[in-house]
Structure 1
Amino acid sequence: MDPRTQQQDTDGRGEDRALSPEAAAARTDAQWRQVLNPLEYQVLRQAGTERPHTGEYVDTTTEGVYECRACGAELFRSETKFAAHCGWPSFFAPLAEDRVRYIEDTTMGMKRVEVRCATCDSHLGHVFEGEGYGTPTDLRYCMNSVSLRLVPAEGAAGSDATV
């Protein structure tokens, strides 16, 4: 079976979206390599980090929903995105707590909390607390743009203003 056909086309644009948790869990490493480009694979499946200030969503203010690029699960809303000026898109909360899962990360000589997609277990980024950004949650979800796909709200297409 072609792994690309395991996702349902729900947006009318021919893009793969809405991969079920069962289909995500059944996907082999070889299948992930088929459906993700090399950078997406390195970040999403190997917990890499894209270079700062290079991601497509760092400065966008387009309204909509940010999905997991690997499986299409809805993860963040544009209303929770804020300008942290850290080089990666930042949000103060996920769409719902059950959309993400957290893992203690002690790599690179520091203690951090990794954020993964709860549906397909792909690496999204890290969450930091108490940095003084003045957000409602005092959290900064520092996400890799390559881990996300923005689905613009109705009428928001083309309104890619920057922060």
Structure 2
Amino acid sequence: MIKLITLFILSSIFVGNSQEIDSLKILTQNEWKLSHWFQNDTVCFLPKKKLDTIYEGLTEAQVLKKKKKYIFSERIRFKKNGVISYVNNLFCPVGESIKRAHSFTLDNNVITIDFETIKWPWKENKMIREKKRFKVLELNSNKFKIIKCQ
């Protein structure tokens, strides 16, 4: 009986600590905020909070400031079907590149992003489509950190 109890305790210790993490679920459950991620080698995505629409008791300037903080930024949402929803609302677009993200694949701790960019001035340059691979360094509900693969 003691052997059976010891075996049960040891097996529960080993089985209880092994917990499978669903990376795709963590990645797709949030809308992420980021900055200039196509140009950087290491990128850290943070969860984007939903717009606070409680404007009661605020002045018009405070309401505009609150809306501006949410609207002008880069945001990305990874969907379960492999599609990316990417938005970058710029306050002043002069000198910025326009980006369009199309799809992603997450395989073996590597995320591959299919996207297009066009550099400023937009009328003089053409859209360049490419895929970039990033190794996932950290992925949880509070942070998604990746580094560009060589």
Question: Scaled by the length of structure 2, what TM-score is found?
Answer: 0.25
Could you say which structure has the larger radius of gyration? 2
Structure having the larger proportion of residues in strand: 2
Instruction: Work out which structure has the larger RCO, using CA pairs closer than 8 Å and 6 or more positions apart in sequence.
Output: 1
